[in-house]
């Protein structure tokens, strides 16, 4: 049985093909620059060479068509025809407060996604177009929606409400929703395995650091508070998003410059954050290269990003009272040891003590590692996220009728014996290049 997962962004369409019977990824890739000239697909299939093809995709339907064509091609494909695909899982950024778990997409679900798309203007329209496109190409299989916001529906009102007129919440659904929920679900469950604890007796601080970043306070295995808000703009300093700021600041700048609301929204979402501070970079690798060349604004951007993450770690440490582990995940969290160093320096009095050598060694997506010192009261794990696996398992369970909210559902990766075959194969290559990596691999207690 084969399950396809799709993650359609405003100008991209990521995909993965999963062989459920053998528990293995057959292929994965992404179509870039969808709706723009010069779109192309990067495709990787098990046992085959990487493949890139330039092909204009003016719509997401064209992108999905291209994905299907590549997946079924004799030379680069991994399936004989689309009939072997039995379910499709879709990532949806914003489900508002209407969904506490993944759902099969029906007319009511699509209506709900459209109702809240103003809350996710950069992502929800693309998510919706991706679902519509996939349903046209694959009309005879269940399509399942996995919402980033669903994980956070366990937050209490004291955490998710804003101190604004209460009728804004009642009439316009103004509240904190939080995002990156699929990533937080996966890493929270895996952290509990590594700790050897009941997931619902586990408190965690999880830092999902990528181009978009957020921190989650997990109490007794459920989301208790998170840094992103009604939209993904709030919280940390991100690639192009400002994160936390005085809410009066935009009005001040609009009066000074004559900017309209749309221009301000665009500036805060697409021209701020690390890009706004450096003036030219939002990729952490480019920023680090500039820092090494003496670029002071690049160094300032790094310091600001680390400072903000450190503030949230401290705040959530206080909110939770007991922290069983600190977790880093996503592209920056998994690979940027220089950013982890800036974040972790000075946290010793909070019980978080990292090992600089272990920190520099941890640079892989193929293993879970521990970078804390033995005397650290709070272990520090780096857990490569796997949102696609969560989407795949949700889609399979929904298709079979066995799915439920995560507090009543057990994932395969919650087993002590769970192995990701693709990552296990990749780890062999990593260890050949860097044998010392073996010394920091985290194993279940």
Give catalytic residue positions. 148
The strand ranges marked E within 154-292 are 204-209, 213-219, 222-226
Q: Which of 214, 111, 97 is nearest to 161 (CA)?
A: 97
Q: Which two tokens stand for residue 316?
A: 């959530």
Q: Which two tokens stand for residue 282?
A: 């939002």
Q: CA 75, CA 49: separation in Å to the nearest integer?
A: 10
Q: Which of 191, 268, 256, 259 is nearest to 229 (CA)?
A: 268
Q: Are 116 and 149 in contact (CB under 8 A)?
A: no
Q: CA 330, CA 301: separation in Å to the nearest integer?
A: 19
The SS3 assignment for 419 reads: coil
Strand order across the 51-54 sheet: 51-54, 40-45, 24-32, 12-19, 2-8, 85-92, 143-147, 103-104
Longest Cα–Cα distance of the chain, Å, equals 61
Burial 108-129 (b: 16+ CB within 10 A, else e): ebbebbeebbebbebbbbbbbb
User: HEC states along 254-307?
Assistant: HHHHCCCHHHHHHHHHHCCHHHHHHCCCCCHHHHHHHHHCCCHHHHHHHHHHHH
């Amino acid at each position: 049985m084969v399950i396809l997962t799709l993650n359609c962004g405003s100008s991209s369409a990521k995909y993965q093909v999963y062989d459920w019977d053998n528990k293995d990824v057959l292929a994965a890739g992404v179509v870039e620059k969808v709706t723009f000239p010069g779109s192309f697909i990067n495709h990787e299939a098990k046992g085959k060479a990487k493949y890139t093809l330039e092909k204009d995709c003016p719509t997401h339907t064209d992108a999905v068509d291209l994905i299907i064509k590549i997946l079924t091609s004799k030379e680069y494909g991994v399936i004989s025809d689309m009939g072997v695909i039995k379910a499709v899982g879709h990532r949806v950024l914003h489900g508002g407060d209407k969904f506490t778990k993944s759902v099969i997409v029906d007319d009511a679900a699509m209506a709900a996604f459209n109702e809240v798309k103003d809350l996710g203007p950069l992502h929800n329209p693309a998510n919706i177009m991706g679902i519509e496109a996939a349903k046209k190409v694959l009309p005879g299989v269940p399509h399942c929606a996995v919402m980033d916001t669903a994980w956070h529906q366990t937050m209490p009102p004291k955490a998710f409400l804003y101190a604004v007129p209460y009728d804004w919440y009642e009439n316009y659904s103004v509240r904190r929703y939080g995002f990156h929920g699929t990533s937080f679900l996966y890493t929270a469950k895996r952290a509990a395995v590594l700790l050897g604890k009941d997931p619902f007796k586990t408190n965690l601080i999880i830092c999902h650091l990528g181009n978009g970043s957020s921190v989650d306070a997990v109490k007794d295995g459920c989301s208790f508070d998170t840094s992103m808000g009604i939209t993904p703009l709030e919280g940390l300093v991100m690639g192009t998003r400002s994160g936390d700021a005085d809410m009066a600041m935009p009005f001040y700048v609009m009066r000074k410059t004559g900017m309209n609301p749309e221009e301000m929204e665009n500036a805060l979402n697409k021209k701020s954050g690390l890009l706004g501070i450096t003036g030219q970079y939002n990729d952490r690798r480019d920023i680090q290269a500039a820092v090494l060349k003496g670029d002071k604004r690049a160094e300032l951007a790094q310091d600001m990003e680390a400072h903000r993450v450190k503030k949230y770690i401290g705040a959530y440490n206080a909110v939770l009272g007991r922290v069983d582990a600190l977790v880093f995940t996503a592209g920056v969290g998994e690979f940027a040891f220089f950013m982890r160093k800036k974040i972790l320096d000075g946290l010793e009095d909070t019980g978080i003590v990292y090992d600089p050598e272990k920190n520099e060694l941890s640079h892989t997506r193929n293993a879970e590692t521990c970078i804390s010192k033995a005397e650290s009261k709070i272990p520090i794990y780096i857990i490569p996220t796997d949102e696609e696996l969560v989407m795949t398992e949700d889609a399979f369970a929904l298709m079979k009728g066995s799915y439920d909210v995560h507090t009543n559902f057990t994932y395969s990766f919650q087993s002590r014996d769970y192995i990701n075959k693709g990552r296990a194969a990749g780890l062999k290559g990593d260890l050949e290049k860097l044998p010392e990596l073996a010394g920091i691999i985290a194993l279940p207690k």
